[in-house]
């Protein structure tokens, strides 16, 4: 290795194997100007089981451009002629659990001693000796190594433990943090409304909302059919542009029931467009009546966006599912009913029918449009500063009240809405209480009450 850029600044390499720091090189190349000096970086005694990922990282300079030339990398077999201590194993194995656990570490080598760390550092025979099960109640990484007389040490074995966050329904799940790290478990049932071979994607929905499961590695191995109820979905949340995705970390097992009617909402284009930014209808299976395609006549083509209109507005009809059997068929030229899954892209709403049965031409006189029920949609943005918009849907005009509470359950703001309109409604809260005082950062809860209906959600004021 040598300096490959003339600017001043130290260079130093670190060897990582399977994301574990193994060794660091000397520091070199600090003075300004060219330096052709070649430095060796030799690491001995590496013993890693199974497949390995080897990384050389330049650990000096932060984001500054400090280039290094690396050449002649070799990996040679290591061995002293002695056997290796059998690699430590963990019981229960690494994973995410619902309750605190006690972890036992063992090795098959008689007389071996095990040493471990809990701070992410590499263990050695100077680390904490294992003498009794390790109690784990918070996310923890255990690294362990085995030593025995007349044996080479075992490889360092790592076990990551975490705990799932239980969530009762999809609406609450959609309100959680999409950091691709926290593991959530959906404790309620979710109905499968569509599945694809592409990335093993699945759409699931309950009475409160829907979400797209993106399972490229194929973690979920159970074969589900449409209408199956799945309980115990476990995974992480991730954002792909505006789409919230559920990334599974475990297979939930067999469906808890089969042949359930698919949940479905009857909406207008205006309902769906007014949800942009809130995205409460995202991934939901919905029906829109008396729509027309502005691009008809013609044949449906895959991967296209068509203008879809009803009496309330315009949105996108998207042919995103390349497996759909309506591709290559005639577009409806009159008014029809469309059923499909709602998506969002670049602040536009889209509906994608699953198959030909989702496109059913109907007469304009066929009045089958049942209004969506009263529902507290949510707030946007969330977190917010200094104001946020609370949105809710009314099935008919009626009086409503928005109440806002702090974490102690104390009422801080109450807003009466006389004769809230049928359809979508909005209320902008400026972060102040009833006296006009600006409230501090923290978690707040807002409740919609209208007649017998009452529903609450969480929001975060962040300054």
**Per-residue pLDDT tens over the stretch 43-84:** 876 777 667 888 988 888 766 777 888 888 887 766 667 888
SS3 187: strand
pTM of the model as a whole: 0.65
SS3 378: strand
89-163 has which CATH code? 2.60.40
| Identical topology for domains 165-248 and 375-461 | no
Please report the pLDDT score of residue 79 as a whole number.
62
As given in the structure block, the two tokens for residue 404 are 């806002």
Report the distance separating Cα 22 and Cα 36, nearest Å: 26
DSSP string, 201-258: -EEEE-SS-EEEE--TT----S---TT-EEEEEEEEEEEETTEEEEEESS---S-SB-
Q: Does domain 375-461 have CATH number 2.60.40.4070?
A: yes
DSSP string, 74-111: -------SSPBPPPPEEESPSEEESS-EEEEEE-SSTT
| Residues forming beta bridges with residue 337, ordered by sequence position | 360
Reported as type and span, the H/E element at residue 441 is none
Positive or negative, the CA dihedral 284, 289, 293, 296 is positive
**Per-residue pLDDT tens over the stretch 75-100:** 776 666 788 899 999 999 998 998 99
CB 226 within 8 A of CB 188: no
Please report the pLDDT score of residue 266 as a whole number.
87
Q: What average pLDDT score do residues 312-325 get?
A: 94
Radius of gyration of the chain (CA): 29
> Per-residue pLDDT for 115 more than 70?
yes
Phi, psi (rounded to 5 degrees) for 315: -145, -175
CB 251 within 8 A of CB 224: no
As given in the structure block, the two tokens for residue 88 are 């430590």
Q: Does domain 265-361 have CATH number 2.40.50.200?
A: yes
Structural domain spans, the chain: 1-78, 89-163, 165-248, 265-361, 375-461
CB 114 within 8 A of CB 156: no
> Per-residue pLDDT for 410 more than 50?
yes
Please give the class, per CATH, of domain 165-248: mainly beta
């Amino acid at each position: 290795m040598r300096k490959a850029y003339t600017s001043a600044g130290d260079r130093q390499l670190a060897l990582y194997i399977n994301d574990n720091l193994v060794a660091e090189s000397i520091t070199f190349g600090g003075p300004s100007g060219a330096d052709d000096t070649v430095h060796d970086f030799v690491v001995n005694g590496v013993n890693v089981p199974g497949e390995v990922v080897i990384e050389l990282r330049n650990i000096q300079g932060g984001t500054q451009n400090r280039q290094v030339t690396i050449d002649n990398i070799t990996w040679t077999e290591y061995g002293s002629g002695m056997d290796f201590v059998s690699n430590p194993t963990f019981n229960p194995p690494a994973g995410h659990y619902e309750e605190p656990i006690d972890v036992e570490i063992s090795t098959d080598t008689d007389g071996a001693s095990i040493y471990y760390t809990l701070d992410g550092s590499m263990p050695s025979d100077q680390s904490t000796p294992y003498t009794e099960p390790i109690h784990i109640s918070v996310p923890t990484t255990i690294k362990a190594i085995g030593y025995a007389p007349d044996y080479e040490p075992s490889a360092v074995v790592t076990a990551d433990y975490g705990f799932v966050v239980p969530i009762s329904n999809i609406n609450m799940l959609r309100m959680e943090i999409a950091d691709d790290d926290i593991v959530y478990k959906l404790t309620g049932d979710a109905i499968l409304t569509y599945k694809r071979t592409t990335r093993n994607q699945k759409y699931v929905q309950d009475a409160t909302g829907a979400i797209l499961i993106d399972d490229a590695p194929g973690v979920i191995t159970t074969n589900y059919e449409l209408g199956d109820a799945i309980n115990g979905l476990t995974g992480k949340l991730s954002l792909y542009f505006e789409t919230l995705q559920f990334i599974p970390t475990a297979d939930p097992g067999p469906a808890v029931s089969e042949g359930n009617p698919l949940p479905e909402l009857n909406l207008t284009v205006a309902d769906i467009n007014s949800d942009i930014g809130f995205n409460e209808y995202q991934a939901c299976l919905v029906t829109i009546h008396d729509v027309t395609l502005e691009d008809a006549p013609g044949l449906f083509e895959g991967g296209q966006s068509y203008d879809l209109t009803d009496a309330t507005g315009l949105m996108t009809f998207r042919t995103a599912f390349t497996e759909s059997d309506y591709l290559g068929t005639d577009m409806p030229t009159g008014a029809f009913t469309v059923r499909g899954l709602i998506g969002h892209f670049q602040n536009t709403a889209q509906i994608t029918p699953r198959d030909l049965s989702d496109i059913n031409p109907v007469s304009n006189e066929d009045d089958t449009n049942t209004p969506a029920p009263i529902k507290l949609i949510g707030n946007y943005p969330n977190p917010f500063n200094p104001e946020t918009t609370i949105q809710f849907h009314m099935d008919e005009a009626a009086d409503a009240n928005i109440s806002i509470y702090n974490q102690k359950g104390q009422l801080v703001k109450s807003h009466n809405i006389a004769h809230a309109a049928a359809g979508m409604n909005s209320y902008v809260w400026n972060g102040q209480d009833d006296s006009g005082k600006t409230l501090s950062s923290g978690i707040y809860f807002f409740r919609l009450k209208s007649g017998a209906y009452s529903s609450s959600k969480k929001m975060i004021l962040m300054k």
